[in-house]
Structure 1
Amino acid sequence: MDKTLEAIISAVPTFRATFPFDCMIAISDQEKFIFYLPGIKMKHESPIGKPIKQGDGLWEAINNKQTYTNVISKEIWGFPFKNISTPVFNEHKEIVGAFGLAYSLENQEILINAAHTIASSSQEVLASSEELLKNATILHNKMDNLREASKLMLRKIEQSNQILSFIKEVAYHTNILGLNAAIEAARAGKSGNYPIEVLYR
């Protein structure tokens, strides 16, 4: 095994201990997997000894001579993760293999789902607020109508009171006139001076 690959393999546990996300690490020479370190949740059957194939991150890094990145969906291995593979060069600038790191996107997926939920809830709150505003406007208009109706009713009541006062006054004066007439009739009867219409009855 190339010394550069050996040095990287010996440093992997230290590197993994400082990485903040659940991850798995794989290293290959130019043909096959030579090292695999599973993560806590991110793990599958060990690929050590199996050949690297086109489409694998390690193969793509070696054959394209550059870092290769891709995202694997949850449907493929049961958990979503991002894979970063980079070619490994020895002291002679020759590619001797590749180093691959795959880290979990589970937390990111949870955050994205939470963001969608919050956005959906915000839309519902906005729609409810708009409905409340609409109902508040309708209620305000109805209250204005009620105030106008109350004012009109007060005016009608005042007019009714004036009419009742007038009727009472007329009735009062009518009663006084009737009383006066009765008094005059009584006086006339005592003195024998009956009104003409009384004499002809």
Structure 2
Amino acid sequence: MFHKVESLESIISIIPIIKASIPADLSIAVCDMEKFVAYFPGEDINLNIKTGQTLNPKEPLAVALRENRSLREDVSADFYGFEFTGTANSIQDKH
């Protein structure tokens, strides 16, 4: 299942508001099918993702995007240096 929005930029513009509204430390990444287009690290949770960084095709996030599904899964330390539970949702623009 996926959600449709006007553009990824519209999502990126509201992420600071979302982060400020959630009383938990989290990082939020936005990516297209190939690379990260925005990253908002948490205070303590920082995956050191760089804008433009290529997605590893084996990481759960890339799998969820390819399969067009939501996911909540443990992510191995092999990807970002420490293990964490990641969530992902497929969001597509309307165009």
4+ residue runs over 4 A deviation = none
- TM-score (normalizing by structure 2): 0.78
Secondary structure at the aligned position of 2:9 is classed as helix
Structure ranking higher in strand proportion: 2
Alignment of 1:175-190 (within 5 A): none
1:81 is displaced (CA, Å) by: 2.8
Query: 2:33 & 2:17 partners in 1: Cα distance?
Result: 24
Secondary structure at the aligned position of 1:35 is classed as strand
1:44 corresponding residue in structure 2: 47
1:53 corresponding residue in structure 2: 56
1:193 corresponding residue in structure 2: none
Identity %: 27
Give the conservation status (yes or no) of the 8 Å contact 2:27–2:39: yes
1:51 is displaced (CA, Å) by: 1.1
Query: 2:69 & 2:47 partners in 1: Cα distance?
Result: 26
Query: 2:65 & 2:74 partners in 1: Cα distance?
Result: 18
CA gap of 1:53–1:72, structure 2 versus 1, over 3 A, is closer
Alignment coverage as a number of residue pairs: 88
Higher relative contact order by CA 8 Å / sep ≥ 6: 1 or 2?
A: 2
Query: 2:75 & 2:59 partners in 1: Cα distance?
Result: 11
Query: 1:53 & 1:41 partners in 2: Cα distance?
Result: 23
Give the conservation status (yes or no) of the 8 Å contact 1:28–1:58: no
Query: 1:81 & 1:21 partners in 2: Cα distance?
Result: 14
Larger Rg: 1
What is the letter of the counterpart of residue 90 of structure 1? Answer: D
1:63 is displaced (CA, Å) by: 0.5
Structure 2 alignment gaps of length 5 or more: none
Structure ranking higher in helix proportion: 1
